[in-house]
């Protein structure tokens, strides 16, 4: 497979209240087209900062980040960002929330509208299109947020702990739901998470970052789990082996 994301020796230092903070020191890895990769690491190690760089919201001090060989310089229509909170506007209907990205980009022509309506239908939200976000469950709100992101037809999805606000049972169901949608749409995905189980159950590979300033300590290929859906993975005898290996790597570098 061709690499769609290439990160080489990424380094970034930002100004905090108490002085400069070196977030990233030398981060290097690739993401292949159509691949689902998770990033795990200690709290504050720069995982979300790295997503910000890919989204064009942060600028590196050193190293490079490229999409299909072209250096990232500012926001790109090829990237879709899904943050920790669904950030739905409560006064807008579900349909209008889904259309928001297209409205901002002035892409509300018939072709784009039809694509958004197709997504609502395909993923079970068409019957709720005229409802408000407060009338939806947490899982349905997250599905709406993903459809809003997919409506702009990005090549790459950047997922910044999108399930962290959900209770455990809902989180299990929604992560499987989101995984199936991403697979069905054939998108490349990069997920930041603190949950090792989530990373193992959803990813093709898991990148482990060290504590700040971050470097890549290990990359785990999920191997035989790649062909299974998230719940099947959790039931597989291989699941605890991958979980333990990643956990030990994190323990070593806390």
3-state secondary structure of 115: helix
Average confidence (pLDDT) over 178-194: 91
What pLDDT is attached to residue 252? 60
DSSP secondary structure letter of residue 131: S
Considering the domain delimited by 1-78+192-254, tell me its CATH architecture: 3-Layer(aba) Sandwich (3.40)
**pLDDT at residue 89 above 80?**
yes
Of 103-112, 153-162, 217-226, where does the model show the most confidence?
A: 217-226
Contact 60, 42 (CB under 8 A): no
What pLDDT is attached to residue 220? 97
**What does the domain layout of the chain look like in residue ranges?**
1-78+192-254
Q: CA of 164: how far to CAs of 103, 106, 184, 210, in Å?
A: 28, 31, 23, 21
Q: Tell me the pTM.
A: 0.88
Give 102 or 191, the one with higher predicted confidence: 191
What pLDDT is attached to residue 169? 83
């Amino acid at each position: 497979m061709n690499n769609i994301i290439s990160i080489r020796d990424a380094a970034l230092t930002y100004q905090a209240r108490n002085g400069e903070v070196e977030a990233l020191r030398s981060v290097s890895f690739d993401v292949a087209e159509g691949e689902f990769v998770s990033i795990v690491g200690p709290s504050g190690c720069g995982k979300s900062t790295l997503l910000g760089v890919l989204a064009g919201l942060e600028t590196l001090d050193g190293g490079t980040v490229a999409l299909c060989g072209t250096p990232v310089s500012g926001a790109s229509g090829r990237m879709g960002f899904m943050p920790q909170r669904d950030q739905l506007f409560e006064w807008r209907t579900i349909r209008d929330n889904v259309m928001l990205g297209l409205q901002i980009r002035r892409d509300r022509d018939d072709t784009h509208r039809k694509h958004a309506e197709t997504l609502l239908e395909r993923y079970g939200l068409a019957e709720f299109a005229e409802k408000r976000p407060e009338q939806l469950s947490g899982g349905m709100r997250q599905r709406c947020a993903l459809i809003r992101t997919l409506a702009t037809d990005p090549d790459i999805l950047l997922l910044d702990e999108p399930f962290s606000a959900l209770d455990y049972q809902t989180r299990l169901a929604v992560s499987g739901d989101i995984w199936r949608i991403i697979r069905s749409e054939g998108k490349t995905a990069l997920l930041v998470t603190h949950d090792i189980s989530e990373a193992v159950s959803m990813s093709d590979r898991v990148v482990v970052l060290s504590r700040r300033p971050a470097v890549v300590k290990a990359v785990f290929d999920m191997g035989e789990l790649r062909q299974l859906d998230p719940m099947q993975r959790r039931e597989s005898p291989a699941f605890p082996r991958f979980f333990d290996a990643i956990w030990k790597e994190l323990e070593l570098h806390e």
